Structure 1
Amino acid sequence: MNKEMEFNILVTSDIHGHIYPTDYRTDEERQIGIAKLAAFIKQERSKNAEVLLVDNGDLIQGTPLASYVNLYAREAIHPAVAVLNELGYDAAVVGNHEFNYGMDVLRKVMGDSEFPWLSAGILSEATNSPAFGKPYIVKHLENGIKVALLGVTTHYIPNWETAENIKGLKFNDALETVKAWTAYIREKEKPDLLVVAYHGGFERDLKSGEPAERLTGENQGYAMCTEVEGIDVLITGHQHRMLADEVNGVTIIQTGCNGMAVGKISVVLIKENDTWKVKEKRAELLRPSETIAADSAIMALTQEVETAAQAWLDQPIGQVIGDMSISSALECRKSDHPFIAFINKVQMDAADVEISNTSLLSNESRGFGSIVTMRDVLTNFMYPNTLTVLRLTGRDIREALEQTAAYFQVGKNGEVVVNPAYLEPKAQHYNYDMWGGIQYELNVAKPIGERVVYLKRNGESLDPAAEYDVVMNNYRASGGGDYLMYREKPVIREIATEMAELMANYMLQHGSIQASNEQKWRVVAEPVV
């Protein structure tokens, strides 16, 4: 006689330190955060005790709370880990941002976790074996059902991360890792269901299979679904998309970011001739609303450190004379803006150079008001980037400006608009740079690669063969964002202090800063005659 059994896989991913349902820019409540998601998790557990609960990476970094913990509360259990412990997670996957604070922090986080961290493709150079212990786990359900969970991380991390933070590690191709370990698990464990949790996303359109981005290897989810035999469920992340679908018979899920949703995969198995077979799989996203209260136990668990972080964030550290506020991210990116000019000034002062580039990291950035607090600094600089000085030629600088000009195109009414390639499948506003120390004009009505129509320094045309020292964040200096002209260029110096700390220190040292705008660059869409 046939038997059926249903169980659920619950997934979080890219939480980025969001525990409370808090907008750290305004201290207002939002429908995000793992305290909100905890209500779904507990509810699903009450309906069905057989649950596989997984976090898919980028857990410990991303909020001002996470920054406060890293600066002032490293010895305590990281609040995000404390929450996952309390909720009884079965496993977590290592995300790329887990490395941002260095291996000492990551090792402590793992040591405090009551669940294993998985990443099959990240190896120790010394042993050539998985650096964090288990590459996979097997969960035994009632009736003898075996569920295998393999964890893997995008191998593109060395293209972004500071070398010191990943010293002694080797990053194997994620797709090849999944192929090898899936075959091994199927042969050795003979699971009734095999789940791959991949901190990476989809490189192709899910329906057409057409490339959705330049195929660098950063995201390989589509290839995993179409080229690897034996995967039943693929958990994804990294791109911050909201997906619940199926590709080539593989059920897939991606849960956005910051605690926007819990992913739920319902699996029905049927027993035939003493063997369990997958009968049905369904994927859905459970999104919190105003009617879902944040879980009080989870809130209480982290209340002390949250309260301390909020008080720290509200400390004034300086004032602005003039206006550095941003009312429109698009307008800020179209011409020289006092806030961007100030960032470049701080970078140039820190690096002792005369040319700099930077980006507006998020469309939610609002610049600085008249009084600047730590909250203002950390909400504008949410990534723990450090600075690197590269020696570039004038030709390299022109190529970099051509790359950045691809961010724009001409709209239907002749206006400057954002190129859709920078919006889908993942918003990449941080890959558009704005420069200080040079004067330039970009005409986005011209073909990509021919848009730099004016480029000078101190009134003189930039010599293509001359060399210039340029400061930028470490992500960009590594070539991140397809800035291939930076790769293998001489590194003149590295500033190990994070950009948010440099900005805060500058404000504290000077007390007040002057907003200035010399209009040294602009973006236009002038018809080509």
Structure 2
Amino acid sequence: MPLDRREFLNRSALTGAGAAIAGTGGVVAAPAAEAAGRGSDRTFSFSVLGTTDLHGNVFNWDYFTDAEFDDSKHNDVGLAKIATLVDRVREEKGCGRTLLIDAGDTIQGTQLAYYYARIEPITGKDGKRGPVHPMAQAMNRIGYDAAALGNHEFNYGIPLLRAFEEQCDFPLLGANALDARTQRPAFPPYVIKRVRVPHGRDIKVGILGLTNPGIAIWDKANVQGKMVFPGLVEQARKYVPRLRDAGADVVVVASHSGSDGSSSYGDALPWVENASAQVAEQVPGIDAVLVGHAHVEIPERIVVNKETGRPVVLSEPLKWGQRLTVFDFELERGQGGWQVTSVHSKVLNSNEAEESPAIARMLRDEHAKVVAYVNTRIGTAEEAMSAAEARLKDTPILDFVNYVQAETVKAGLSAGDAALPILSVNAPFSRTASIPAGQVSIRDVAGLYIFDNTLEARKLTGAQLKDYLEYSAKYFSRLAPGAPVDPDALTNAGGTPDYNYDVVWGVSYDIDIAKPVGQRITGLAYRGEPIDPAQQFLVAFNNYRASGGGGFPHVAKAPVAYIGAQEIRQTLIDWVVEHKVIDPNAFASDDWRLTREGAPVF
């Protein structure tokens, strides 16, 4: 149901000296802190701080490895680090001269987030009230002013998202998240915050939240018939003028949408997935855009609005709390009110900050509970398996995931579909995933599947399957005969991420990377026989791929044979609990390989 005016007011109530009044389609709220007295009465400066794609990271901890997070660049992650950076900026600039916002994807991504969605859900169990989400606790403590909805906010269903919303002391914004029945906003489209100016008129900062149209595809099972997600540009054109009419001197957009103009779902939707730069170019009246969704770092990018000729500053901090964006605004007061004279942005690195002791104390029990959960022993493995080369070679670790997916689909088929051959698709999501020989824990198995996807099966013909594999094979760079082989340069061609490279289990084929894209799949066979283009197969996919994610051909419109409700990750865990032993001899096979003019590359 869309929020009515009273709900808008109740959801945005602030503590301290702040006041809240209703705006047109949003909320006007005044922070309690007084601004520091720097500058003349005709000029003023303040900053908007921003995070995005936090993905359930509170601490600098990797629950899949049960160790502190680290990567090749020695980045750190988590809100506990961000809290320290925020405190530093507030101390430097004055608390009343800063606002803090987020651009979405908050409550999914770590085992901490999963635990409070599924194991001890914040929605409660057996009539009991659920716990407060650790991300809500941390963000409330740090003092966020607003957050845009991300697409992963919908992974666990709307009821859990609503429970999280109720636990937040700040509004979740989504100008293009509409009630399917009424076409009215299902969440507040915007909020207006007052920055107090000593001896002068307060500055009103409008914060517009935009989310991703792809939610309609990626979380179709959770939102179909309940919510719709029109384009970012279209909704920004509607609400930016409303913000200006409501008196906003500054307009900042928190946009859960990348900036390169691309769409992973092709033309499956009429709206662009990564449209933040288009919003800045096409919608007048915007001063800055906090970009999210793309998981790239943009310290500062200037986009010129085509209608006004004015510059708009875009910035995207790196995911998981690795960076904090700082937008610095300079304003001058004239007869018409405050005018923005300059905007600049930069990013701060969280590896230069200690974790906030306050956040660490507040959430140490939740952290300890999840650590104990992920270290629960559930079975044994006959051999060690690693995903280090899974994108380059047919490896048992991906075969295991595909085997469990195929077996799960097989058990859930109708009698009419049971006779069809069952294939399975999976991607090398993590290059560090592994299963040790000997005892296996929940975290070992969970690390094989880092996304909260569910399982589906659809019917494809042999011809469609070949098209699918050809599309997947664009992941590899073309390699001329005789050229040296550099594994690191061989993959991710055209910026294709690992999760958009699929291997198919149950058939055999070669990928000839000496050939151009679209002509690489050779020797495609089922049980040793060339595949008839008209032959039908049941293929197990995750719900992201089945709904069109990645833009793979044929899948989204293919007949559905099976839809599961449980996350694939949990399905893998349950399989190990039931069978006790992971034995590669039961499922591993060398079915695909990279070749160059018919000769194996490896």
Which residue in 1 is equivalent to 2:259?
Answer: 202
Which residue in 2 is equivalent to 1:415?
Answer: 485
Which residue in 2 is equivalent to 1:190?
Answer: 247
Question: Aligned partner of 2:354: which letter?
Answer: A
Is residue 103–residue 166 contact of structure 1 (8 Å, CA) maintained in 2?
A: no
Moved more, 509-518 or 162-171: 162-171
Which residue in 1 is equivalent to 2:66?
Answer: 27
Question: Aligned partner of 1:193: which letter?
Answer: V
Question: Aligned partner of 1:521: which letter?
Answer: W
Which residue in 2 is equivalent to 1:207?
Answer: none
Which residue in 1 is equivalent to 2:379?
Answer: 318
Is residue 267–residue 278 contact of structure 1 (8 Å, CA) maintained in 2?
A: yes
Which residue in 2 is equivalent to 1:208?
Answer: none
Which residue in 1 is equivalent to 2:145?
Answer: 90
User: Is 1:247 aligned with 2:303?
Assistant: yes
User: Is 1:303 aligned with 2:303?
Assistant: no
Q: CA–CA distance in 1 between the matches of 2:488 and 2:275?
A: 26
Q: 2:155 aligns with which of 77, 96, 100?
A: 100
Q: CA–CA distance in 2 between the matches of 1:91 and 1:2?
A: 28
Report the Cα offset of residue 459 of structure 1. 1.2
Report the Cα offset of residue 420 of structure 1. 8.6
Q: CA–CA distance in 2 between the matches of 1:83 and 1:185?
A: 29
Report the Cα offset of residue 422 of structure 1. 3.7
Q: CA–CA distance in 1 between the matches of 2:440 and 2:248?
A: 56
Report the Cα offset of residue 368 of structure 1. 4.7
Is residue 406–residue 419 contact of structure 1 (8 Å, CA) maintained in 2?
A: no
User: Is 1:3 aligned with 2:42?
Assistant: yes
User: Is 1:154 aligned with 2:212?
Assistant: yes
Aligned-residue sequence identity (percent) comes to 31
Report the Cα offset of residue 332 of structure 1. 1.6
User: Is 1:449 aligned with 2:511?
Assistant: no
Which residue in 2 is equivalent to 1:223?
Answer: 278
Report the Cα offset of residue 181 of structure 1. 1.4
Question: Aligned partner of 1:108: which letter?
Answer: A
Q: 1:462 aligns with which of 531, 554, 559?
A: 531
Partner SS for 1:180: helix
Which residue in 1 is equivalent to 2:325?
Answer: 263
Is residue 174–residue 210 contact of structure 2 (8 Å, CA) maintained in 1?
A: yes
For the structure 1 residues 164 and 274, does the alpha-carbon distance in structure 2 shift closer, same or farther, using more than 3 Å as the test?
A: closer
Which residue in 1 is equivalent to 2:31?
Answer: none
Deviations 1:217-250 (A, max 9, x none): 1111221122111110011110111112222211
Report the Cα offset of residue 24 of structure 1. 2.0
Q: TM-score, normalised by structure 1?
A: 0.93
Partner SS for 1:334: coil
Moved more, 374-383 or 36-45: 374-383
Q: 1:347 aligns with which of 385, 399, 405?
A: 405
Q: CA–CA distance in 2 between the matches of 1:168 and 1:381?
A: 28
Q: CA–CA distance in 2 between the matches of 1:472 and 1:122?
A: 27
Considering only aligned residues, what root-mean-square deviation do their CA atoms show, in Å?
A: 2.1
Which residue in 2 is equivalent to 1:52?
Answer: 99
Q: 1:503 aligns with which of 551, 559, 572?
A: 572
Q: CA–CA distance in 1 between the matches of 2:597 and 2:384?
A: 29
Is residue 258–residue 293 contact of structure 2 (8 Å, CA) maintained in 1?
A: yes
Is residue 154–residue 222 contact of structure 2 (8 Å, CA) maintained in 1?
A: no
Question: Could you list the runs of 5+ residues in structure 2 that have no partner in the other structure?
Answer: 1-39, 70-75, 122-129, 305-310, 411-420
Moved more, 270-279 or 234-243: 270-279
Q: CA–CA distance in 2 between the matches of 1:474 and 1:451?
A: 26
Aligned residues: 515
For the structure 1 residues 32 and 442, does the alpha-carbon distance in structure 2 shift closer, same or farther, using more than 3 Å as the test?
A: same
User: Is 1:286 aligned with 2:325?
Assistant: no
User: Is 1:71 aligned with 2:118?
Assistant: yes
Question: Aligned partner of 1:465: which letter?
Answer: A
For the structure 1 residues 495 and 416, does the alpha-carbon distance in structure 2 shift closer, same or farther, using more than 3 Å as the test?
A: farther
Is residue 122–residue 169 contact of structure 1 (8 Å, CA) maintained in 2?
A: yes
Report the Cα offset of residue 2 of structure 1. 6.2
For the structure 1 residues 151 and 212, does the alpha-carbon distance in structure 2 shift closer, same or farther, using more than 3 Å as the test?
A: closer
User: Is 1:38 aligned with 2:83?
Assistant: yes
Which residue in 1 is equivalent to 2:195?
Answer: 141
Deviations 1:284-317 (A, max 9, x none): 101122x521001111111111101001111111
Report the Cα offset of residue 354 of structure 1. 2.4
Partner SS for 1:333: coil
Question: Aligned partner of 1:145: which letter?
Answer: I
For the structure 1 residues 334 and 420, does the alpha-carbon distance in structure 2 shift closer, same or farther, using more than 3 Å as the test?
A: closer
Partner SS for 1:450: coil
Report the Cα offset of residue 406 of structure 1. 0.5
Partner SS for 1:146: strand
Is residue 339–residue 368 contact of structure 1 (8 Å, CA) maintained in 2?
A: no
Partner SS for 1:306: helix
Q: 1:18 aligns with which of 39, 57, 63?
A: 57
Partner SS for 2:320: coil
Question: Aligned partner of 1:46: which letter?
Answer: E
For the structure 1 residues 113 and 401, does the alpha-carbon distance in structure 2 shift closer, same or farther, using more than 3 Å as the test?
A: same
